[in-house]
């Protein structure tokens, strides 16, 4: 089933969830590696371009994810969750959606204000235009810090989200994790 059901996630939600999760993990690792001071400049340039391309891909998928989330129905909460757990889950999911949008947008802003004025080549296919922001060292420092703080916040929230899913699966033995791994149409 492509759409979410009353108690399960559909294929579109599952695909977007795991694809964005993999992109986030890859972007965090790539972001760390590409900013190492001892890296070869030619390699660093290529890593930055890959980081930007994957970031734009994440942004596009996140926009689709948000629209899908807004337009679709949502499975009911797993039985046994308290009102506080349901509210916390909702808040974490809203924060995840917001951060998965904000991190790539701040990265785009950072590339746009950089005094180096290096184009963003989307997988060497097209050039993504810069945002209409003023280029300056001060703006670059501000967007660098903002992008890093939001990226690390996203990483922390993702770890908390994954930890909660594993807690539900291995400690509470409920369907919180399982319903994001499979859907009833395929699994009967």
Q: Check residue 1 and give its pLDDT.
A: 82
> Mean pLDDT throughout 148-164?
97
Is 12's pLDDT higher than 90? yes
Answer yes or no: is pLDDT of 60 > 90.
yes
Q: How far is CA 185 from the centre of its chain?
A: 27
- Is the pLDDT assigned to residue 84 strictly greater than 90? yes
Average pLDDT over residues 118-136: 97
Cβ pair 95, 157 in contact under 8 A: yes
Q: Give the per-residue pLDDT at 187.
A: 45
pTM for the structure as a whole: 0.92
The answer on pLDDT for 184 being more than 70 is: no
- Is 85 within 8 Å of 117 (Cβ atoms)? no
- How far is 141 from 147, CA to CA, in rounded Å? 10
Q: How confident is the model at residue 183 (pLDDT cuts 50, 70, 90)?
A: low
Whole-angstrom distance, CA of residue 183 vs CA of residue 118: 44
Segment 130-147 shows an average pLDDT of 98
Instruction: Give the model's pLDDT for residue 97.
Output: 96
Which residues does 26 contact at the CB level (< 8 Å), separation at least 6?
A: 54
């Amino acid at each position: 089933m492509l759409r979410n059901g009353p108690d399960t996630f559909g294929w579109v939600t599952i695909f977007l969830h795991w694809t964005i999760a993999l992109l986030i993990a890859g972007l965090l690792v790539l972001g760390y590696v590409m900013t190492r001071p001892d890296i070869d400049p030619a390699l660093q340039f290529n890593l930055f371009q890959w980081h930007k391309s994957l970031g734009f891909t994440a942004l596009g998928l996140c926009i689709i994810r948000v629209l899908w989330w807004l337009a679709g129905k949502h499975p009911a909460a797993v039985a046994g969750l308290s009102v506080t757990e349901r509210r916390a889950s909702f808040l974490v999911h809203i924060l995840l959606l917001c951060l998965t949008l904000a991190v790539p947008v701040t990265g785009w802003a950072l590339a746009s204000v950089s005094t180096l004025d290096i184009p963003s080549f989307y997988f060497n296919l097209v050039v993504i235009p810069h945002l209409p922001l003023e280029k300056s060292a001060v703006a670059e420092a501000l967007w660098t810090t903002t992008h890093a703080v939001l990226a690390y916040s996203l990483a922390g929230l993702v770890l908390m989200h994954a930890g909660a899913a594993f807690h539900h699966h291995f400690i509470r033995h409920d369907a919180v994790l399982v319903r994001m791994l499979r859907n009833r149409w395929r699994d009967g």
